């Protein structure tokens, strides 16, 4: 039973390029959460998605960032025109139901994005 799968594990992009991060939730999980972690800092919520729907994007920067979770395939976090400040670890978590219903969320191994 595979856990949450993220790829790539490491991604290097030049300033101005696009970064595309993928997350496949655990089997049986339909709720996906994206978090960003800067070095020596905590996890910051970005967006919460269910299949084909963005439920909560209150933590997502208004520009350059977008997320989707299509009916088929992984969830995608897209960062357009990357800047050095986007360099961080991006983690995806999944859960079986929404987390306030006493359900646990499990994290993938993360994507380390470096913008040069």
Partner 1 sequence: QKEVEQNSGPLSVPEGAIASLNCTYSDRGSQSFFWYRQYSGKSPELIMSIYSNGDKEDGRFTAQLNKASQYVSLLIRDSQPSDSATYLCAGTNTDKLIFGTGTRLQVFP
Q: What are phi and psi of 38, to 5 degrees?
A: -85, 155
d(CA 106, CA 39) in angstroms, rounded, equals 21
- SS3 call for 100: helix
Strands 19-24 and 75-79: antiparallel
Shortest distance (Å) from residue 48 CB to partner 1: 5
- Please select the residue that binds partner 1; options are 30, 64, 99, 114, rule is CB under 8 A: 99
Strands 10-13 and 111-115: parallel
- Please select the residue that binds partner 1; options are 30, 66, 109, 114, rule is CB under 8 A: 109
Applying CB under 8 A, the span of 14-22, 60-68, 78-86, 97-105 interacting with partner 1 comes to 97-105
Applying CB under 8 A, the span of 16-24, 43-51, 63-71, 73-81 interacting with partner 1 comes to 43-51
Applying CB under 8 A, the span of 17-25, 65-73, 75-83, 101-109 interacting with partner 1 comes to 101-109
Applying CB under 8 A, does 41 fall inside the site for partner 1?
A: yes
Q: What are phi and psi of 99, to 5 degrees?
A: -65, -25
Applying CB under 8 A, does 25 fall inside the site for partner 1?
A: no
- Please select the residue that binds partner 1; options are 23, 26, 67, 93, rule is CB under 8 A: 93
How many helices (H) does the chain have, and how many strands (E)? 0, 11
């Amino acid at each position: 039973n595979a856990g949450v799968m993220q790829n790539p594990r490491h991604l290097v992009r030049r300033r101005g390029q696009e970064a595309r991060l993928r997350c496949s939730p655990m089997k049986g999980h339909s709720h996906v959460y994206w978090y960003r972690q800067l070095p020596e800092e905590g996890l910051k919520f970005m967006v919460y998605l269910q299949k084909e729907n963005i439920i909560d994007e209150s933590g997502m920067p208004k520009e350059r960032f977008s997320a989707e979770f299509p009916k088929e395939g992984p969830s995608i976090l897209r960062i357009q025109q990357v800047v050095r400040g986007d360099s961080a670890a991006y983690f995806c978590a999944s859960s079986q139901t929404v987390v306030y219903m006493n359900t646990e969320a499990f994290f993938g191994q993360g994507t380390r994005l470096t913008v040069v």
